[in-house]
Amino acid sequence: MKMTPIRLSINKKLLLLSLGLVLPFCVLIVFLLLSMTRYSRTYDQIVSNLTVANNYNLNFKEEMDESLYKLVVGYIDYEHISEDGTLKDPYALIGELRDEFTDLRDITTEAESRVWLESLLRNIDTLEKRVDDIMENIRIGGRYDENIRELDNNIYILTELIQDNIQHYIYYQTRSMEQTTADLNHQITSFIVVCGSLLLALACMAVAAAFVITSGILRPVGELYEATKRVAAGDLDARARVDSKDELETLAVGFNDMAEHMQDLIGKIKEDEQRMRRADLRLLQEQINPHFLYNTLDTIVWLIECNQDDEAVNMVVTLSNFFRLVLSRGKEFISLREEEQHIRSYLEIQEVRYRDILDYEIRISPSLYEYQILKLTLQPLVENALYHGIKYKRARGCIRVTGEKQGENLLLTVSDDGVGMEEADLLELRREIKRPCSETEKGFGLANVNERIHMYFGPQYGMEIQSEKGKGTTVKLTIPAVLAWEGRPFPAGAEGNLPEAGRTGISGTDGEVQG
């Protein structure tokens, strides 16, 4: 435990308290000076804004109306308007006005003034469009009456509105100036009152000093008390946050070290429990896999006895491919291409045994082949569809396996047109697959897949089951889309879910109830 050095003992705090008696006066004086400086700058800014606004309030409408009128009546053409000392280029007037009042809007903080500035800028945009219309009519020619109507119905009204906007802005800026002056006077008055009150407060400072010293000691003690109570209630993340630089902070550091040590010990215990659980999952797999092998070998023997040597050879090759993918050189993650080959080998083997009732279809886009997946994720679902969907249908059925990419996730679906499930059975199965697979009474294969997905990727991924009696069952899996060549065995952020033991996939028992 690293002890924090005591920088300011409680005794020193008592000595420094007496120096704090004069601090309020210093703070008050600095505050007054800063306030006066701030109000002076605000006042100057408002005066500057009013000066700009007044210039345009007096001249803009008159100059704009006159210039546009003389352009419309043909007194002067647009190319030579800048040469006339009495007229102004309408676009130059609009651009200058927009630039000035855009700058005013950016520096204006008073709400009402900003409202009128926003209205003014919108009217400027509209005025510019109307000027464009007039200039287009002048260019085309022969639209004198239309331009006169445009002047009367739009231009003069818009320049009047802009002038009104400027006047309203000036009005509210003037009010703001008056408010600023009133605030400054109020601050000076308050300063005088506070100074008098502070003099009176010095008489009470002795009593207040005792309170300050007591609270400076009791607050860290209270913090330690609350942290201790939370730890006692089981919240090992609780820490005492004491920064008093005295003996109490040293005590708090010792307490935090103790709580952190307890948290580490409990974390190790949980990690050991998870490791034991993963080992248990691996043990269950070792007990399950042989059933499928036994039944397949029986089928091969039957084919040989029936002199179907070619089919027996093909089945041996398929079985070899199946277990080569099961082993996957010890890898827990394989590509979706390998997983598809795995379930295809499984279905080819089962098709020999159930040739009278089994059809299957695998539709996974080759564009998804390079994404990675937990080994033996789809096979238990396919096995479940065969033994508890197609087999009990007592008629020919089909298993369909599909895959698609949705955003940042892969959606893998295994569906069958078998016997399906009643609503009550479906709800019970959904509950079972959410439990640890070693605790499930049915649906072990599905629960195992769901648990492994949660373990590696997190609870936001997993399995969804839909079923209807007489129509079949659909199982959907959602996992993160991670390319195998990215070199990440699991999505970013899932490191804490990566098993350290039992890294082997689990297949359901051949014929065992899985859901």
Give 512's pLDDT tier (boundaries 50, 70, 90).
very low
Q: Are residues 291 and 217 in the same domain?
A: no
Q: How many residues does the chain have?
A: 515
Beta strands 462-468 and 397-406, pairing class: unpaired
Q: Are residues 43 and 176 in the same domain?
A: yes
Highest mean pLDDT among 100-114, 206-220, 449-463: 449-463
- Cα torsion 222, 225, 230, 231 to 10°: value is 140
Highest mean pLDDT among 2-16, 20-34, 445-459, 493-507: 445-459
The total domain count for the chain is: 2
Q: Are residues 322 and 183 in the same domain?
A: no
The whole-number pLDDT of residue 134 equals: 83
Cβ neighbours of residue 121 closer than 8 Å, sequence gap 6 or more: 98, 101, 102, 105
Alpha helices in 90-155 (DSSP H): 90-107, 111-140, 144-150
Average pLDDT over residues 187-205: 73
**Burial of 15 by CB count in 10 Å (0-12 exposed, 13-18 middle, 19+ buried)?**
exposed
d(CA 19, CA 9): 16
Q: Choose the weakest-confidence range: 177-191, 327-341, 445-459.
A: 177-191
Q: Are residues 201 and 290 in the same domain?
A: no
Q: Are residues 218 and 293 in the same domain?
A: no
Q: Are residues 307 and 203 in the same domain?
A: no
Q: Which residues span the domain enclosing 430?
A: 274-497
DSSP state of 495: G
**Burial of 240 by CB count in 10 Å (0-12 exposed, 13-18 middle, 19+ buried)?**
buried
Give Dmax (Cα) for the chain.
116
Q: Are residues 309 and 217 in the same domain?
A: no
Q: Are residues 183 and 310 in the same domain?
A: no
Provide the CATH number for the domain around residue 381. Answer: 3.30.565.10
The whole-number pLDDT of residue 492 equals: 41
Give 291's pLDDT tier (boundaries 50, 70, 90).
low
The whole-number pLDDT of residue 466 equals: 95
**Residue after which a domain boundary falls, among 224, 258, 288:** 224
d(CA 350, CA 400): 15
Over 80: is that where the pLDDT of 378 sits?
A: yes
Q: Is residue 21 part of a domain?
A: yes
- Judged by DSSP in three states, 286 sits in helix
- Cα torsion 6, 9, 15, 18 to 10°: value is 90
Q: Is residue 175 part of a domain?
A: yes
d(CA 151, CA 61): 12
Average pLDDT over residues 343-368: 89
Mean pLDDT of the chain: 76
Q: Is residue 514 part of a domain?
A: no
Cβ neighbours of residue 392 closer than 8 Å, sequence gap 6 or more: 418, 419
Candidates 285, 375, 281, 378; CA nearest to 328 is 375
Q: What is the pLDDT of residues 203-254, one digit of tens each?
A: 677 667 666 666 666 677 777 777 788 878 877 677 777 766 666 667 777 7
**Residue after which a domain boundary falls, among 189, 224, 259:** 224
d(CA 349, CA 366): 23
8 Å CB contact between 388 and 513: yes
Q: Are residues 57 and 120 in the same domain?
A: yes
pTM score, whole prediction: 0.45
Q: Are residues 203 and 288 in the same domain?
A: no
The whole-number pLDDT of residue 285 equals: 58
Q: Is residue 508 part of a domain?
A: no
Q: Is residue 246 part of a domain?
A: no
Q: Are residues 349 and 208 in the same domain?
A: no
| Helix or strand (DSSP H, E) at 18 | helix 10-19
Q: Are residues 141 and 285 in the same domain?
A: no
d(CA 195, CA 42): 26
Give 509's pLDDT tier (boundaries 50, 70, 90).
very low
The whole-number pLDDT of residue 20 equals: 61
Give the pair of three-digit tokens for residue 332: 């827990």
